[in-house]
Amino acid sequence: MPNQFEPKIVSFLCNWCSYAGADLAGTSRISYPQNIRIIRVPCSGRVDPLFVVKAFLDGADGVMVLGCHPGDCHYQQGNYIAQRRYSIMHRLLEFTGIESERLFVDWVSASEGKRFAEVVTAFTERVRNLGPLPLIGTKKLSKEKFQEVAS
Amino acid sequence: MTSLENQIRNSARKFLEDGQVSCVIGYERDARGRARPAFIVKADDTERLIWDSDCSLNLVNYLHSRKSPPGKDQPIPKTAVVVRPCDVRAIQLLINEQQLKRENIKIIGITCAGTDINHQLRTECEFCQERIPLIYDVLVEPEKPVELPASQDAYADIEEMESWSSEERFDFWTKEFDRCIRCYACRQACPGCYCFECVAEQVDPHWTSIALEVPEKMFFHVMRAFHLAGRCVGCGACEAACPMNIPLGKLNRKIAKEILELFGYHTGDNSENLPPLVCFNPDERLKI
């Protein structure tokens, strides 16, 4: 399908579990959608909600935060803190009119390469169905328009 | 002069004359007839202090400038502050966050009948069941006790917005944020916003551009609301300070509602419990 909407998805993967999980998916030659842009972070607790909002602001259609399963955090408590943060962030985004389905937080361990591919596939499909985020469309002066005005 | 004003002036005078504090922060009348913060250092100046429904700023905000010693080997200055019941919660928050020490503050607590923003009673005040501050050194009381409002559903307007569709909410906020001029008055008026360098102005990393576009404004307001998650006391100072009348309180109250539902936490109940987003419980599994 040539005209199908391809969402941009930013994903923050924890170094110790999910990033290794993505690596395993790769070395096991399991294919998953190319829509995700992976950013490696030391821990899901490092992912400041600022990063998520910034990603949306700069044109991401969906954001993923993956960390170690509760109890397995390399730093003991990072994912517990992330859990609390994102439970609130989800509800705040929903309230401002950005569908909370665009933010996905889950736990994927280093041995779950197959599950990583499944999670990414399901989330990409979800965001594709939601369509592009309308936020960028609210800019009065888009990049294209700016160049048009400037020339 | 009302009896409340009289009581405020008398206790301020007593604090200053006894040398218990070096400054009293209260409200005074400005040249345009509106209430503005006043910093009284002389006992005779206490006559300037006023109290009415226009006093809708949170004076706890000004304690930040008096939390450290003015010079080497000098003690932290002692300050008295005129506060409403909601403002007192901000004092509890700041004590919790180790910004203030209780012994350095004298609290002139007001039995509050609600304050106005743009000559309209604040939304929070319509439902507020707390008319007497939780902690105080002096309580300013009217002759008749304040009647509590019958309606107790403090989040009725939030619940209504939740029932809208995503598009409706997006349109609502896009329209509201479009008016924002990014003056950051909301941040300056807030006792909880005391970072030395705010993400909105940080240059390295440059989180957000200075453009007056909706995404940038939304970024600022969503981040500000989130930084106040579990810390906002609902004093409404941000709304009172906003020159464009953006209903900023709605964002904060939405979070306060969720925090209360999820963690049973109400900011400022005491100065011991940590806000829920800076601690954790290993046994809980939240829906995210």
Shared domain check, B124 and B44? yes
Of B110, B140, B170, the one marking the end of a domain is B140
Structure confidence at residue A143 (pLDDT) = 60
In this complex, the residue of B207, B277, B278 whose CB is nearest that of residue A54 is: B207
Q: What pLDDT, in 10s, does the model give residues B69-107?
A: 888 889 999 999 999 999 999 999 999 999 999 999 999
Q: Where are the domains of chain A?
A: 9-150
Shared domain check, B130 and B241? no
Shared domain check, B274 and B190? yes
Q: What pLDDT, in 10s, does the model give residues B36-66?
A: 999 999 999 999 999 999 999 999 999 999 9
Is A143 an interface residue toward B (CB < 8 Å)? no
- Structurally, chain B folds into a number of domains equal to 2
Shared domain check, B236 and B116? no
2.30.30, 1.10.10, 3.40.50, 2.60.40: CATH of A9-150: 3.40.50
How far apart CA B216 and CA A140 sit, in angstroms, is 12
Residue B285 within any structural domain of the chain: no
Is B213 an interface residue toward A (CB < 8 Å)? yes
Residue B103 within any structural domain of the chain: yes
- The pTM is what? 0.91
State which residue of chain A sits closest to B160, comparing Cα positions.
A95
ipTM above 0.85, yes or no: yes
How far apart CA B252 and CA B250 sit, in angstroms, is 5
Taking Cα atoms as reference points, which of B265, B266, B232 lies closest to residue B251? B232
How far apart CA B275 and CA B44 sit, in angstroms, is 41
Taking Cα atoms as reference points, which of B34, B44, B104 lies closest to residue B74? B104
| pLDDT band for position A149 (cuts 50, 70, 90) | low
Shared domain check, B267 and B205? yes
Shared domain check, B108 and B216? no
Shared domain check, B52 and B134? yes
Query: Distance, in angstroms, between B136 CA and closest chain A CA?
Result: 32
Shared domain check, B91 and B202? no
Shared domain check, B249 and B188? yes
| pLDDT band for position A144 (cuts 50, 70, 90) | low
B234: containing domain:
156-278
Task: Give the list of residues 6+ apart from residue A27 with CB closer than 8 angstroms, or none.
Answer: A113
Structure confidence at residue B168 (pLDDT) = 93
| pLDDT band for position B151 (cuts 50, 70, 90) | confident
